[in-house]
Structure 1
Amino acid sequence: MNRKTLVPAAVIGLLAPVLAACGGPDGGDTSDDAIVVGTTDRFSASGDAPAPFDPAYAYDAGSWNVLRQTVQTLMHLPRGGGEPEPEAAERCGFTDNGNERFECTLRSGLKFSDGSELTADDVKYSIERVLTIKDKNGPSGLLAGIDTVETSGERKVIFHLKAADATFPYKLATPAAGIVNPEAYDAKGLRSGFDVDASGPYTLKTEVEKNTVVKAVFTKNPHYKGNLTPKSDHRIVLRPFDDADSMGDSLKSGDIDLMARGVTPEQIRTLSDDADDKIDVVEMPGLEMRYLGFDTDAPAVRNKAVRQAMAQLVDRGEITSKVYGTAAEPLYSLVPATITGHTNSFFNEYGHPSTAKARALLDKAGVRTPVELTLNYTSDHYGPGTKEEFELLKKQLNASGLFDVDIKGTDWLKFRPSELDGEYAVYGMGWFPDFPDADNFIAPFLGQDNFLASPYANSRIRNTLIPESRQETDRLSAAEPIEDVQDIVARDVPVLPLWQGKQYVAARDDITGVEWALNSSSNMQLWELGRGVGD
């Protein structure tokens, strides 16, 4: 019979969402036992997004899942979650009592995929390149705490931080800190196109049509030396689909072997109930979150009472139950419920949806109603439920009589630059964590040079609470400042959290390692996949 599997506690830390892309349209990738993975993520290059796979530019879940397989980092998150472990390094650690000096010694004999030697100077070059380019779409904010990088000999790299940061090892485990070949990447400019030259467990070849990847093929890197062991000697092919239905049809027909990102609630139900014993559905906890972001300088939402009234009216339970079913749960904080330091700040502040309380907030602030707003969302990045979710948000807000809301969908390649340029007063976004710590659900949204380019700036959060939380190596000890941040966010509403996602992987029953295919930060671990014998 078909099985719907709940990942046990031993591996709970490891699965949330996200996948990369690829694929030819003919499903002809299985002749050599290649493992074919489907996704609804798409990879396109444009004037606004010229370098999808450049670590100095890429800062979305899909692109990072390509880089995770191909670009080596000093540290990586272990298979079942927990503290980061050395990867390109043989050892790493803080060498002072203040968590401000971090030192790594590289493994001996490291090489790039072209066979050239990889040294400490290449690590320094790669890190400094991200900070120098400082692309507005990119992940440089993750490394902004670095003051200087120095090397000692060919194998030692020393990071001097601007302030204490116990989360720094996690940041070195992200593609933002990926090591690239200086021969292929300009120190001051992005590398356009889809090529990757690095030292990870796989090399990458892509097929591209009209500036969009139609197939990405990962092959074992013969020069790789690190802490990861690919479980299959065969290629792994990542294949993008225009929609979840066609991806599901390809899984049933055997054209692909596994799908994760983009699986719909309806597919979860039908695949779990299907009598076909060739496909297994694995359910796992997730750290994906969705939220509304605000340009707090925009006239329509500049008054805090408008944002508070929206927080008072939104019915998260209705959104999750009607749109996402069992795949999502209401979220009342920027920090997901499974992360140390989480508190239900928005529920504590607003309780259940109430038109009367929302009206009182607006009346007290002297806001004329109905407030006219456009809720902007991306039509092609987060799955088919996004439009339905925003239609329901519109209905909820307008039903109060306090708002006159319209909605507008835009494709991702236009949506993201427009959001960064401040063209939207209100917009919907998703977040897949860089690493599983509360800091990564706070600093990217509220710190200086934040990922949203938000004008909101709270000096207590930036200058006191975030630094205080980063001083604590024991993350339980950081809970108090983290909780204070969440309470401030609930009162000021620079962002409005909506829901937290569960994750599902559907795979044909001869694919092994499915339970390890995603780690606790929602990152695809293709090296864990193999092909065995189906039931």
Structure 2
Amino acid sequence: MRPRLAVAAVGAVALLATVGACSKNTGSNESGGGQGSTQSGSIATDPADSQGPAKPISGAKTGGTLYQYAEADFDHLDPTRAYVNNATAVTNLFARTLTMFQDAGNGKLKLVGDLATTPGKDVSTGTKCTSWEFTLKSGMKYEDGSTITAADVAYGVARSFSPDLAEGPHYIQQWLANDVNYNKTYKGPYNGGAAIPPGVKVDGNKITFNFKQPHCDMPFAASWGTTTPLPKAKDTRTKLDLHPFSSGPYKVETYTRDSKLVLDRNKFWDPKTDAVRHAYFDKFETDIGQTADQQANSIKASQGKSANAVMGANVPPALIPAVQGDPAVKSRVAAGFTQFVWYMAINNQRITDLRERQALNYGFDRRSFIQALGGSTAGDPATTLLSPTTIGFKKYDAYPFNVDKAKQLLGNKHPKLVFAFANTAQWQKRATNVQSTLQKIGFKIVLKPIDAASYYTEIGRKDNQFDLYFAGWGSDWPSGSTIIPPVFDGRNIQAQGNSTYPYFNSDSVNTQIDKLSKQTATQAAPGWAKLDKDIMTKYAPVVPVWYDKAYQLYGTNVGNMKIGQSTGWPVYFNAYLKNGK
């Protein structure tokens, strides 16, 4: 599985994911100051929950333009390829999928049918979760007024098999092919394949997915852009990135790469068919090219269109005191836990001594490092592999900070380790922090800068010559099933392109992964939490460092701007402009 991406601490960085009512999260909010929330999740069992219109936002007004400021352009806006959270938050405005989360920014997620009348029906005749049926709602139309069909959904899935569109999530493709290398034989319609992929059946307004193995997370996977409908006649292949075809409340008016994206209303969108989205503002505009400092200063002043704007980045550490020192400004911060956990990966191929890995865990000063990030607004100290936003999360600390214990584990040894980092001004400072901390307990740390643009390519090589490096991961939906397997299942390790950055492989862990992956979210939640703790206490393959938080400023005229835990980004479709203009 490929890593989900987030706009965060290394520019655009790789991070990173059943059915039945999901159990409540057992974690607690330890962030202080209301800057976070733990999550409870559910999947709709009442078909009425999937019917529109979405519940009105109290006090919301209609009209005006909502602006988002961004430092860099989107990676992709083709919903099939979008896998960076700033992009998926925007594609949710114009692209519909079979299912989707109702996300009010309060951590209470509910998965409902979006294009579909329900979140899906298990119609397996033998083994459960091997056959999933979705029935499309009637009355849904594209931006040109044509009708959205089940065949269009199937075609959208088919094109996702193309090697030319490889950037998005691969869950459904791999499940249909029953192979990690999902396009070995069927490569989609661009390469001579049928418009309906193997394993998919269309019957009128119904679409069915048939798998050889049980995949109880299918309703969640169906919320990703893989199931965005597209008529074959509107498929411009890789050029769809420049002008996606809308099935949602907004459509692309203009898009100039590295400059500006403007969305306006899709007059054919019917709110009665949509249980998730609102469409309060008339237009949505992303202005590209402002640094985080420029964004924060402009929106802090909130003059002109900045009164209608939201940051496309976190408030920089140097500006946080000014934001927090003014109650009127501090009240305009969208803050909260994202689903991402950052960790220092230990290359288990090179550091094979468990005692050394344990010493790294005991001796790493998380709080000092987080202060360098910007303090508690950036994150909370992490001691687990799962985020507090994960269903079934349980807090534990297998390695409380203890310099003496770390030194004791090393004995009189002084291992020489290479710490690799993205060669940016921020990470140069953080690398020095890591070096200073670990040398205090006896390690000799050699710093190895890597060009930021190729950082994840380099650490994703199995034969990389680094011992330590930072990475992060966030769930694609709030279950351990999209956190632990992509990073800690050693069977996924390849020569290059890895997301298994610790290069950790344990037969017993892999066996548990296989067992839990066949269970529903409710059944598996305690098991994922237990496996999280088992991996850390028995093997210490990484050093968890911080639970990521968003801290984004918005203008004085923006209402109901909150961080969504389904994306770790503002929920634009729930926002409005207070004066309607």
- TM tier, shorter chain? 0.7 to 0.9
- The structural deviation recorded for 1:334 is 1.2
Instruction: Pick closer, same or farther for the CA change 1:79–1:55 going to 2, 3 Å.
Output: closer
Instruction: Pick closer, same or farther for the CA change 1:375–1:11 going to 2, 3 Å.
Output: closer
Task: Answer whether contact 1:113 1:221 (CA < 8 A) is retained.
Answer: yes
Distance 2:381 2:90 in 1: 30
Counterpart residue number, 1:333: 384
Task: Answer whether contact 1:290 1:497 (CA < 8 A) is retained.
Answer: yes
- Whether 2:279 is the aligned partner of 1:234: answer no
Name which of 499, 516, 526 aligns with 2:572: 526
Task: Answer whether contact 1:13 1:519 (CA < 8 A) is retained.
Answer: no
Instruction: Pick closer, same or farther for the CA change 1:530–1:150 going to 2, 3 Å.
Output: same
Counterpart residue number, 2:499: 452
Counterpart residue number, 1:63: 87
Counterpart residue number, 2:123: 95
The alignment-based identity, stated in percent, is 18
Instruction: Pick closer, same or farther for the CA change 1:296–1:78 going to 2, 3 Å.
Output: same
Q: Deviations over 1:139-169 (max 9, x none)?
A: 2146523355322323111112343333221
Moved more, 82-91 or 230-239: 230-239
Task: Answer whether contact 1:377 1:428 (CA < 8 A) is retained.
Answer: no
Counterpart residue number, 1:246: 294
Name which of 91, 102, 112 aligns with 1:85: 112
Task: Answer whether contact 1:313 1:354 (CA < 8 A) is retained.
Answer: yes
Moved more, 300-309 or 317-326: 300-309
- Whether 2:192 is the aligned partner of 1:161: answer no
Equivalent position SS for 1:283: strand
Equivalent position SS for 2:109: coil
Q: Deviations over 1:376-430 (max 9, x none)?
A: 2374xxxx8555433311221223332223142533x332333334546343223
Q: Deviations over 1:214-264 (max 9, x none)?
A: 212222222335424433242111234453211112212434222253223
Equivalent position SS for 2:339: coil
Counterpart residue number, 1:435: 477
Instruction: Pick closer, same or farther for the CA change 1:357–1:428 going to 2, 3 Å.
Output: closer
Which residue identity is paired with 1:90? Answer: T
Equivalent position SS for 2:482: helix
Describe how 1:317-466 pairs up with structure 2 within 5 A: 317-327=367-377, 328-344=379-395, 347-348=397-398, 350-354=399-403, 356-357=405-406, 360-361=409-410, 369-377=414-422, 379=424, 386-408=427-449, 410-411=451-452, 413-422=453-462, 423=464, 425=466, 426-447=468-489, 449=492, 452=499, 454=501, 455-462=503-510, 464-466=511-513
- Whether 2:499 is the aligned partner of 1:469: answer no
Instruction: Pick closer, same or farther for the CA change 1:481–1:57 going to 2, 3 Å.
Output: same
Q: Deviations over 1:350-386 (max 9, x none)?
A: 33233553563587xxxx733130322374xxxx855
Distance 2:551 2:537 in 1: 30
Equivalent position SS for 2:324: helix
Q: Compute the TM-score of the two structures, normalised by the length of structure 1.
A: 0.79
Q: Compute the TM-score of the two structures, normalised by the length of structure 2.
A: 0.73
| Residue correspondences, number | 487
- Whether 2:157 is the aligned partner of 1:127: answer yes
Task: Answer whether contact 1:445 1:452 (CA < 8 A) is retained.
Answer: yes
Task: Answer whether contact 2:246 2:266 (CA < 8 A) is retained.
Answer: no
Gapped regions of structure 1 (runs ≥ 5):
15-31, 45-51
- Whether 2:376 is the aligned partner of 1:287: answer no
Distance 2:372 2:549 in 1: 15
Task: Answer whether contact 2:142 2:246 (CA < 8 A) is retained.
Answer: yes
Equivalent position SS for 2:117: strand
Which residue identity is paired with 1:94? Answer: D
Distance 2:159 2:355 in 1: 42
Instruction: Pick closer, same or farther for the CA change 1:158–1:196 going to 2, 3 Å.
Output: same
Task: Answer whether contact 1:394 1:407 (CA < 8 A) is retained.
Answer: no
Instruction: Pick closer, same or farther for the CA change 1:322–1:417 going to 2, 3 Å.
Output: closer
Instruction: Pick closer, same or farther for the CA change 1:8–1:249 going to 2, 3 Å.
Output: closer
Distance 1:105 1:69 in 2: 22
Which residue identity is paired with 2:83? Answer: Y
Equivalent position SS for 2:142: coil
Instruction: Pick closer, same or farther for the CA change 1:192–1:108 going to 2, 3 Å.
Output: closer
Moved more, 247-256 or 477-486: 477-486
Counterpart residue number, 1:263: 315
After superposition, the CA RMSD in angstroms is 3.6
- The structural deviation recorded for 1:302 is 5.6
Equivalent position SS for 1:292: strand
Distance 2:576 2:482 in 1: 32
Q: Deviations over 1:474-504 (max 9, x none)?
A: 5265313541244224543444321002333
Instruction: Pick closer, same or farther for the CA change 1:309–1:79 going to 2, 3 Å.
Output: same
Instruction: Pick closer, same or farther for the CA change 1:86–1:192 going to 2, 3 Å.
Output: closer
Which residue identity is paired with 1:201? Answer: P
Name which of 235, 244, 248 aligns with 1:200: 248
- The structural deviation recorded for 1:270 is 2.0
Instruction: Pick closer, same or farther for the CA change 1:458–1:172 going to 2, 3 Å.
Output: farther
- The structural deviation recorded for 1:266 is 4.5
Instruction: Pick closer, same or farther for the CA change 1:37–1:67 going to 2, 3 Å.
Output: same
Distance 2:330 2:287 in 1: 20
Equivalent position SS for 1:329: strand
Equivalent position SS for 1:287: strand
Counterpart residue number, 2:539: 492
Q: Deviations over 1:277-325 (max 9, x none)?
A: 696234334323212235544xx44655554442232111222244331
Counterpart residue number, 2:224: 174
Which residue identity is paired with 2:224? Answer: T
Describe how 1:133-148 pairs up with structure 2 within 5 A: 133=163, 137-141=167-171, 143-147=173-177
Counterpart residue number, 1:25: none
Distance 1:369 1:135 in 2: 47
Distance 1:482 1:12 in 2: 15
Instruction: Pick closer, same or farther for the CA change 1:41–1:499 going to 2, 3 Å.
Output: farther
Equivalent position SS for 1:102: strand
Task: Answer whether contact 1:143 1:171 (CA < 8 A) is retained.
Answer: no
Distance 2:64 2:233 in 1: 34
Which residue identity is paired with 1:83? Answer: K
Equivalent position SS for 1:218: strand
